[in-house]
């Protein structure tokens, strides 16, 4: 039977028989000849959670939704064992066969639907039915168990991850109590608690007062009681060759991001994207979810996703887009290469086109194909045009590294106006221009993401030796802190990177006030100051590659400030504990 429903499109209702005699309620939208997207909802929802996504996909896709057993218009199994993951996976496979018309379908699932979908695509009997899988807010239980075991080691970060996830998952223990969770839902206390945690909860935050919604809440408790203990205590090793895309809400309450990312170990083709919002982004950010699904479906259908066995897409940043300025050398080049090694598509920007091209060539050997652009970050119009081109050709970036910068040394009284202007134009306005060009599109697209602005340990370590450089870097640090507060609600984390003594070659390119021209400009090329500082940096021996690994590792955490080297961390601690000591040290000069 066909009718127009709340999605604004025509729905064809049908039933799918299960192995244990149930008849699942399903609806189909759009042209059956188009690629099929099969949507599986979670707890305590029904298929209506996909209404916004359906409205955006049905014009050019065949979209099928269904109510899982015990939810919506689908009957509940007679036995508790009917909620086992094996049953749910078999249901998903049966609906896929009915919906696909003999072709593999693209799977999209949320919450418990994602748990069941993982179970389905990692089953070699069912995997051939699926062309791709997009998971939202739901891990494979077996993968989660392996991740938890990997965190049982004497490492502060590992134990912190485990404690974080234990807190996020504490509600599962509550759901295992006899009768208490049922009473919580019946009394309305459970719904109130959920709405207090999530601004946009299930069913648009409305309490489950009608019988259909209440039935979803009560029946779905058996999902936890039947499946959790066995899967977490006796996990299987479950791999899949189906291309997998994980959408991670930036304000996810119930899963740590490191747990979500660990799924990349089990998928031959894995990509990861953040989406600004909470747990119920299929309802609150349907346009973003639909856009990511459309992008993956197009890639699979056109054959542009990596072939199974090409592990580039299974890396932590698989499928993500990163923009790096100042990518022609030093930390910028090393960061571009490190992001490429981790699976990101990298856009390399530098004022020197030849060095940007070389970095892109090197990055393409490490990961997906990289591109290069000549950009003067001090030119706001040029950066804006660059950002528009990136969006048109590659999409909205997940990560932007505003790294381009120059060095200026020498006392304040000897630093010329032109030196000040150039330092401010590149070091400060370059970061401002990058943030102004990319942050609005990241907010508009709702992709969350990361902005990393390269400041310096000089931002908090005053010295008579480099007032112009330190002033611009201190401004970058404060700008980053202000932006972090402004963009937090959009799921964008802003980090100020403060490298310290990293042997990048910046000293050779630094202009020292009062000592003539910079390197390559004539008489100052062999200055004793430059030679002494270059020897200091070489003896320190901290390479750009080590700095790049620290920067890439921090992408998941998204800290406010990232001091890279030991001296940068020590200086930061001293700036907080004893500012007077730093003021005394500022009287000394490493240039003499």
What residues are labeled active site? 469
Q: Are strands 408-409 and 62-66 parallel, antiparallel or unpaired?
A: unpaired
Report which secondary-structure segment, H or E, holds 11.
Answer: strand 10-17
CA atoms of 513 and 547, how far apart (whole Å): 28
| Alpha carbon distances (Å) from 213 to 28, 45, 226, 346 | 22, 8, 21, 45
How far is residue 188's CA from residue 177's CA, in Å, rounded to a whole number?
A: 17
Which DSSP string do the residues of 374-385 spell out, in sequence order? E--TT-HHHHHH
Of 331, 306, 335, the residue nearest 322 (C-alpha): 335
Cα dihedral angle (403, 407, 411, 416), rounded to 10 degrees?
A: -100
H-run or E-run covering 531: helix 528-540
CB 39 within 8 A of CB 28: no
CA distance linking residue 519 with residue 504, whole number of Å: 14
Q: Is the peptide bond before 54 cis (omega within 30 degrees of 0)?
A: no
Report the distance separating Cα 438 and Cα 400, nearest Å. 8
Helices marked H in 101-188: 112-121, 141-150, 156-168, 170-175, 180-187
Strand ranges (DSSP E) for 138-295?
244-249, 270-275
Query: Rounded to 5 degrees, what are φ and ψ at 143?
Result: -60, -40
Q: How many CB atoms lie within 10 A of CB 137?
A: 27
Distance CA 164, CA 151 (A): 11
Closest CA to 199 of 156, 251, 164: 251
Q: What are phi and psi of 205, to 5 degrees?
A: 80, 5
Which uninterrupted H or E stretch holds 345?
strand 345-350
């Amino acid at each position: 039977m066909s009718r127009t429903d709340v999605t604004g499109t025509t729905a064809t209702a049908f039933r799918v028989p299960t192995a244990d005699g149930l008849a699942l309620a399903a609806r189909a939208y759009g042209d059956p000849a188009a690629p099929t997207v099969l949507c599986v909802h979670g707890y305590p929802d029904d298929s209506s959670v996909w209404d916004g996504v359906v409205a955006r996909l049905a014009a050019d896709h065949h979209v099928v939704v269904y109510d899982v057993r015990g939810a919506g218009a689908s009957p509940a199994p007679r036995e508790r064992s009917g909620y086992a993951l094996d049953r749910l996976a078999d249901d998903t496979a049966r609906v896929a066969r009915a919906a696909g018309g003999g072709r593999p379908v693209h799977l999209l699932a949320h919450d418990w639907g994602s748990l069941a979908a993982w179970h389905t695509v990692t089953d070699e009997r069912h995997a051939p039915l699926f062309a791709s899988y997009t998971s939202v807010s739901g891990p494979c239980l077996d993968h989660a168990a392996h991740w938890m075991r990997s965190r049982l080691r004497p490492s502060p970060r590992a134990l912190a991850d485990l404690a974080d996830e234990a807190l996020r998952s504490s509600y599962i223990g509550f759901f295992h109590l006899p009768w208490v969770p049922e009473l919580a839902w019946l009394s309305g206390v459970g719904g109130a608690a959920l709405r207090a945690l999530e601004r946009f909860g299930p069913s648009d935050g409305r309490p489950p007062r009608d019988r259909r919604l209440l039935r979803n809440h009560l029946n779905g408790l058996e999902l936890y009681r039947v499946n959790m203990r066995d899967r977490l205590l006796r996990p299987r090793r479950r791999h899949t060759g189906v291309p997998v895309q994980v959408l991670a809400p930036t304000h996810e309450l119930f899963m740590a991001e490191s747990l979500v990312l660990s799924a990349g170990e089990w998928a031959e083709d894995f990509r990861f994207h953040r989406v600004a919002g909470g747990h119920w982004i299929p309802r609150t950010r349907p346009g973003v979810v639909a856009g990511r699904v459309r992008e993956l479906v197009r890639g699979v259908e056109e054959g542009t996703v990596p072939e199974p066995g090409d592990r580039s897409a299974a890396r932590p940043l698989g499928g993500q887009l990163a923009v790096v300025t100042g990518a022609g050398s030093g930390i910028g080049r090393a960061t571009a290469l490190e992001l490429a090694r981790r699976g990101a598509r990298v856009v390399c920007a530098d004022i020197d086109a030849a060095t940007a091209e070389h970095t892109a060539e090197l990055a393409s050997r490490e990961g997906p194909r990289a591109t290069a652009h000549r950009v003067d970050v001090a030119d706001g119009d040029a950066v804006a045009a660059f950002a528009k081109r990136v969006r048109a050709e590659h999409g909205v970036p997940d990560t932007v590294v505003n790294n381009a910068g120059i060095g200026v040394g020498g006392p304040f009284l000897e630093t010329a106006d032109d030196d000040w202007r150039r330092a401010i134009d590149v070091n400060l306005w370059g970061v401002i221009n990058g943030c102004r060009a990319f942050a609005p599109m990241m907010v508009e697209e709702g992709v969350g993401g990361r902005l990393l602005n390269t400041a310096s340990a000089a931002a908090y370590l005053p010295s008579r030796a480099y007032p112009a450089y330190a002033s611009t870097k201190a401004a970058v640090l404060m700008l980053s802190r202000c932006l972090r507060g402004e963009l937090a609600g959009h799921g964008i984390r802003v980090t100020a990177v403060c490298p310290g003594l990293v042997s990048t070659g910046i000293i050779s390119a630094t202009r020292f006030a009062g000592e003539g021209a910079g390197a390559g400009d004539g008489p100052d090329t062999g200055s004793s100051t430059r030679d002494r500082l270059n020897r200091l940096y070489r003896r320190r021996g901290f390479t750009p590659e080590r700095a790049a690994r620290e920067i890439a590792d921090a992408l998941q955490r998204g800290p406010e400030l990232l001091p890279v080297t030991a001296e940068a961390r020590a200086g930061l601690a001293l700036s907080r504990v004893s500012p007077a000591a730093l003021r005394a040290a500022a009287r000394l000069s490493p240039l003499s």
